[in-house]
Amino acid sequence: MSSNRLKVEVNALKEGMFVSDLDRPWHETPFPLQGFYIRLDDDVKALAEYCKYVYVDVQRQKSKVSKLVHAPFDKKTKSIEKKVGAHIVNLPPIVIKSPTTYTVVSSIHKEVSKAVKLHKHVYEAINHVFLSVSGDNPAGLKETVKETELIAEGMVESVIRNPDALVWLAKMNDQDAYSYQHSVKASIWSLVFGRHLGLDKIQLKSLAMGVLLSHIGKAKLSQEVLDGIAASDARYESAYQEYIQHSLKALSTMGNLPRGVIQIVEYHQERHNGTGFPKNVTGEKIPLLAKIAGLVHYYQELITPRNDDLGLSPLAAVSKLFELRNISFQQDLVERFIEAVGVFPTGTLVELSSNEIAIVTGHNQDRRLLPKVIIVLDENKQKLKNVRVVDLKEKNMTGRESDALYIKDSLPKGAYNIDENQYLLSGATSKWSWRHIASSIASN
């Protein structure tokens, strides 16, 4: 075990200790996945309901906790500190009738060759849709929406076979306009999430199409409005929100679009507590597919913002979503989304306890904080000539302090000028290939 991590019985925890890991999977508990400080005796009592022991990070320990890190945990409500004045809406958990169970039937090596072509085609299709909307070309729009429908079917089949392939491609640095990138990548997250929820193929197709088409109305907005929103200029909010009506108007000529697609376009910016737009409706009036679309759009915006900022790391983005449970997004959907994509999604850059830099290649379902990785930079942040494949779960099973290795931090995309594409697709060195990647995540 690393000298920075100390195994502690729950009843021995003290105020100021930072809990970095549990003796059971995080998603089975109400505690924030990024870890937390012990602030109250009630925190210890809540932990005792779930764990016999935990791991604390001694380097992050504080003698006194001066800030309100979180509210007392309650195993019934699973509540955490919310924004001051935020309106909380509690609804019963969503139940998927007769959920479909999917299993991985294609290796990442086999699936990625199909996904690369699909990835290219989906960008071409969405580009054509935006051009048709911008040019007020209903005939062209009808043709391109049909093209998008076929692409959505292909995306559904790919995610069903193996969700990791498209997730990896979502990490690519594309040169297309932001709205195209955002819609495509959000649609991938939506399919991974929908697959995890057990939606059937028809629902998944509507979900993919709806997310892909949900922002096409932005083609009617001026660049001034788009730039103003990117700069968080409130003067442009009203004009920006009109993109939803532009989208609906453009799609109104498509008489045979599934109802779910239109609902996503119409409701994806609504929020659980009624603070969204354009109708300001609350959670019980927002259709399920639109709830999913709103959540994945928000997540994608956090990790890849419209402006030139790096964006949040996936861990920080998940933490933000966790804070917004029953405020912006329904609690059980947030928790299921975190289960689906993980705290460290495939392709995420991370810093290890050894100070080395790695890319996540797959997950261990029972230990989501100990995924499989490829190490690409050494402890001095220098590029390795030959990258190393490591399963952090297996690495930590020996119990020997010298073998302990875990994720210290999640990094934003592009950190240390790392081009994930080099490792995800083309290979890091002559000795690196998709065969290595496939073998590293074959057990997912």
Q: What is the pLDDT of residue 281?
A: 96
Q: What is the pTM of this model?
A: 0.76
Task: Specify the DSSP class assigned to residue 86.
Answer: P
Q: What is the pLDDT of residue 78?
A: 37
SS3 423: helix
CA separation, residue 442 to residues 123, 394, 436 (Å): 28, 14, 10
Which residue is listed with tokens 């995924």? 371
CA–CA dist 226, 316 (Å, integer): 25
Q: Rounded to the nearest 5 degrees, what angle is found at the Cα of 174, between the Cα atoms of 214 and 228?
A: 55
Which residue is listed with tokens 């640095």? 173
CA–CA dist 357, 349 (Å, integer): 7
- Which of 60, 56, 52, 164 shows the shortest CA–CA distance to 112? 164
Q: What is the pLDDT of residue 240?
A: 96
Which residue is listed with tokens 């442009």? 236
CA separation, residue 270 to residues 244, 290, 398 (Å): 11, 8, 48
Q: What is the pLDDT of residue 371?
A: 87
Strand bridging mode 357-362 / 36-37: unpaired
Q: Which H helix or E strand runs over 22?
A: strand 18-22
SS3 20: strand
Paired tokens of 426: 């083309």
Residue extents of the structural domains in the chain: 5-60, 108-341, 349-441
Fold of 108-341: Hypothetical protein af1432 (1.10.3210)
Which residue is listed with tokens 């907005």? 221
Q: What is the residue-level pLDDT of the chain in tens, covering all 444 positions?
A: 445 678 899 988 988 888 888 888 775 676 766 677 887 777 788 888 889 999 888 777 765 433 333 434 444 333 333 343 467 888 998 999 899 999 988 876 678 778 878 888 888 899 899 999 999 898 999 999 999 999 999 999 999 998 877 887 776 655 446 677 889 999 999 999 999 999 999 999 999 999 999 999 999 999 999 989 988 899 999 999 999 999 999 999 888 899 999 999 999 999 999 999 999 999 999 999 999 999 999 999 998 887 666 788 888 888 889 889 999 999 999 989 988 887 888 888 999 999 999 998 877 766 777 888 999 999 999 999 888 999 998 988 877 777 789 888 888 878 898 877 677 654 443 333 434 434 443 444
Paired tokens of 229: 């929103």
Which residue is listed with tokens 């100990």? 370
Contact between 49 and 75 (Cβ < 8 Å): yes
Q: What is the pLDDT of residue 71?
A: 39
Strand bridging mode 383-391 / 53-57: unpaired
The residues near 235 (Cβ < 8 Å, ≥ 6 apart) are 228
Q: What is the pLDDT of residue 350?
A: 92
